[in-house]
Amino acid sequence: MAKSDSSPDSLSTTTPTLRSQYQPSTAFHGSKLDVWVIDNNFIPSEAKGIFRSDLSELVEINVGPNKVKAIAYKSMLVERSGFFEAACHAHWETGKSRTVTLEDQDPDVFAIFVTWVLTGNVKSSTKFIEVQSSESEEVKAIRLPLQWNQLAKCYVLGDFLQAPGFKNAVIDMLLYNMQLYHNDCELLAGWSSDQINYIYSNTTAGSQLRRIIVELVADRGGNPYVRHVDYLYELAELTMKKYHAGTARHTPFSKPRCTFHEHPDQPAGYTCTRNNQKTGKKWEVS
C-alpha cells in the first residue's frame, strides 16, 4: 500500500484508471511492454549487439514489501546500473545466487526502469502513467502531476541504482511534462510542497532534479510551505546569483536538453547528441 502524501518519502501516483495488478507477461500491449518476465523473443534486435556480455544469464529481482518478482538479463542490468554491476559480482552472495531483493522500492517504478533497460524508452512500460494530448485540460490537470510524481520516483530510483542514463531519460520526460503542463493547463508541475519535500528528502546535494526545482521556483516564485533547509539555502543562493548577474529569466524546460544531464564517463564540457541547441524549441521525447 502506498504511503500517505503527507510523508516526505512518498508521492501520489494513484489513479482509478491505472492497473494495479502485476501479471507476469512477455507481451507487447500496443507500443508498450510488460517486463515482469522477459525472454529472447522480446529483446529488440538493435539492443542485442550493444551489451558486452551474452544474454544467457538471468537475474531475479524481488521488488517491494510483497516481493513482486521481476526477471531480467544480467548483462543488460550490469551495463546500465552501477548498483547491479556490484550486486551481480561473483564475490557477493547476490551475484552467486543471481537474486536481488529491493524491498524498499516501488514495483511499478522498477518496471519502468527494467523496460528502459530493454528498450531505451521510459514510456514503453505498461506501468508508465500516460497522458494523451487529446485529453481535456481537466483530465490533464489531474494526470500530469501524477505522471510527474512517478517520474520523480523514477529519478530517485535511478540515483539508488547508479544509472545515469536512466536519470537522463527521466529528466527529459520530466521537463517535457513540465512544459506540457504549463502550455496546456497554464500551471507548473514540480513545485508543490509535497513534491519539493519528497525530492529534497530523497536526493543529495548536486542532484539535477534539485537543480531543476530550484531554477523553476527562482524563476516563478517560492513556495512558502517548504521548510527544508537545503532547499531554502539553494534557492536563496541561486536567487542572489541571478539578481547580481542580471540573468534573464528562463524556465528549466526552455533550456538545452543536456543542461540537466549527467555524463560521468565523459570529459568536462561534453554535450550529448540529444541536446536541443535551440533554446525555447518544443521538446520531442522518444
pLDDT tens for each residue of 108-132: 999 999 999 988 899 989 899 988 8
Q: What pLDDT shows up at residue 268?
A: 76
Q: What pLDDT shows up at residue 277?
A: 35
**Confidence band, pLDDT 50/70/90 cuts, at residue 42:** very low
Distance CA 33, CA 173 (A): 18
For residues 271 and 201, which has the higher predicted lDDT (pLDDT)? Answer: 201
CA distance readout (Å), 195 to 10, 189, 229: 9, 9, 15
Q: Put the strands of the sheet holding 99-102 in their side by side order.
A: 68-73, 58-63, 99-102
Q: pLDDT tens digit string along 233-244?
A: 888 888 888 766
Distance CA 152, CA 143 (A): 14
Enter the pTM of the model: 0.77
Q: pLDDT tens digit string along 168-204?
A: 999 998 888 777 766 654 555 556 788 888 999 999 9
Q: What pLDDT shows up at residue 39?
A: 41
Contacts with 244 (C-beta within 8 Å, 6 or more apart), sequence order: none
**Confidence band, pLDDT 50/70/90 cuts, at residue 248:** low
Distance CA 22, CA 28 (A): 15
Strands 99-102 and 58-63, by their bridges, are parallel
Average pLDDT over residues 198-215: 91
Q: Mean pLDDT of all residues in the chain?
A: 75
- 241-255 per-residue burial string, b: 16 or more CB within 10 A, e: under 16: ebeeeeeeeebbbbb
N-terminal to C-terminal alpha carbon distance within the chain: 31
Q: pLDDT tens digit string along 43-102?
A: 444 444 444 445 568 899 999 999 998 888 898 899 999 999 999 998 889 889 999 999
* Whether pLDDT at 29 is above 60: no
8 A C-beta contact, residue 87 and residue 94 = yes
